[in-house]
Structure 1
């Protein structure tokens, strides 16, 4: 068994695709129309055959409530690994990304948290040293 897909719940798939590709730098992998929505995935260009991130519509009432509660409590929906958190923060800020937590050392890692414009907080993390 292996992990093939993980989901992030988004309020608008087109907006999410633009943010996750044009801003974060992921690549679109799959788009299969399924009525009003699509099976829409992105991957890291560093690992195009790796885990796919499903940009999943948050239309179920429980999904919207869950996302709002996480944001209200400042809890990231998911986490992405980067090589250098401060450098990635500066790059993303240059593209207009809003951070809710500036880079900080937590144990053996550096973390930061940003708003993905689709209703989620996302954490980036890199090992120290």
Structure 2
């Protein structure tokens, strides 16, 4: 068994696509119109184009807002992405105007930081010591 696709709810798919590709560095894989403004919109890591896909899913379901609001209020990230160097990625992203809710923090063998994806979610980036 392996992870093929996971989703993250976003307020605006176009805005999310811009952030996840032009800021975070993912690559668009699928963009299929579903009627109205909704699209089947996925991104992947440029290092693993055949790897797991992240679906930028419209946040229209009524359960999404209270769920995401509670996570953000408590400072809990919705997803975590691995990076080579949290400190370097933190510097790169802050230079692009990304807002972090947690600066890089070492916790044993892992260093993490938490950012606001501008689409309603907190995202954690992490590096595990080698």
1:102-121 superposed matches below 5 A: 102-121=103-122
Let me know the Cα RMSD of the aligned residues: 0.7
CA distance in 2, matches of 1:61, 1:106: 36
- Who is 1:5 aligned against? 5
- Who is 1:87 aligned against? 88
- Who is 1:125 aligned against? 126
Structure 2 gap ranges (5+): none
SS of residue matched to 1:119: coil
SS of residue matched to 1:32: strand
CA offset digits 1:68-106 (Å, max 9, x no partner) = 110000000000000000000000001110000000111
Tell me the CA shift for residue 2 of structure 1: 2.2
CA distance in 2, matches of 1:128, 1:113: 18
CA offset digits 1:33-67 (Å, max 9, x no partner) = 00120000000000000000000011111011100
SS of residue matched to 1:124: strand
SS of residue matched to 1:46: coil
* TM-score (structure 2 length as normaliser): 0.97
- Who is 1:35 aligned against? 35
- The number of equivalent residue pairs is 129
CA distance in 2, matches of 1:61, 1:90: 36
Tell me the CA shift for residue 18 of structure 1: 0.2
SS of residue matched to 1:117: coil
Structure 1 gap ranges (5+): none
CA distance in 2, matches of 1:80, 1:3: 14
